[in-house]
Amino acid sequence: MQTFKNQTELDAYKAHLLAGSTEKFMALGLGPITPEMAVLSMPPGVWSNPGHAAAEGAKLILTGPPGSGKTTLLKKITWGLALRRRRPRGGYIPAMLDHLKSGDIGSYTAWLTSGDLLVLDDLDKLRGTQYEAERLLAAINHYDVNRFPIIVTMNVELDQFGDRIRAGGVPADYAESIVSRLRGRSTSHFVSGPDHRTVA
């Protein structure tokens, strides 16, 4: 256990951890750190102890209509785990697909698989060919076999997810493999509420 000689050392250590956590979180491209992300309580049915769930390599599937608060909840959990020294990787699926199609695929793939928490926001927006699906499946598989936690948001239930991404061009066998990897050790939670992006 780390000890500190005085309050100044402790404050400096806390500031160092906060700066590192902020850098890791902002690299996901999910938007700013907001005050509601500091609230520790979880809605019923969601991981009551995110740190314990993460240590068990659990998966959390957040479903619900657009604007219901799925991404906000994902950000809140991810931020809390980043403060506990988890290294989140991933982000918003359309942005991730752009990276996977870029010329710098090697460094992005290396970054994507260098963490110990995978975050996939709007996973049902996965579109593309076998190329994109293969690389995303490889990342999901990496986190799954190493028993690292995965947090996902999507607008449809997991049972409908395979059909959704097949309609977007993902080959059927890859779609089935992605669903299979997500299903193990997973908890699903439906997030309901008005569309926060349209409510004044």
Strand partners, 89: 118
Local confidence band at 104 (pLDDT 50, 70, 90 cut-offs): confident
Query: In the prediction, which pLDDT does 11 show?
Result: 84
**Predicted confidence (pLDDT) per residue in 107-157, tens digit:** 999 999 999 999 999 999 998 888 889 999 999 999 999 999 999 999 999
Predicted TM-score (pTM) of this structure = 0.90
Q: How many Cβ atoms sit within 10 Å of the Cβ of residue 13?
A: 12
* Rounded to 5°, angle at Cα 126 from 130 and 119: 115
Which of the pair, 101 or 117, is modelled with greater confidence? 117
Task: Flag whether pLDDT at 26 surpasses 80.
Answer: yes
- As a whole number of Å, the CA-based R_g of the chain is 17
Q: Kindly list the structural domains of the chain, giving each domain's residue range(s) and its CATH number in brackets, ordered by start.
A: 7-39+49-190 (3.40.50.300)
pLDDT at 77: 95
Is the per-residue pLDDT at 199 higher than 60? no
Separation CA 76–CA 70 (nearest Å): 10
Q: How many CB atoms lie within 10 A of CB 199?
A: 8
What SS3 state is found at 141? Answer: helix
Q: Is the pLDDT of residue 37 over 90?
A: no
pLDDT of residue 9: 85
What value does the mean pLDDT take over residues 178-196? 88
The predicted pLDDT at position 3 comes to 82
Give the SS3 label for residue 47: coil
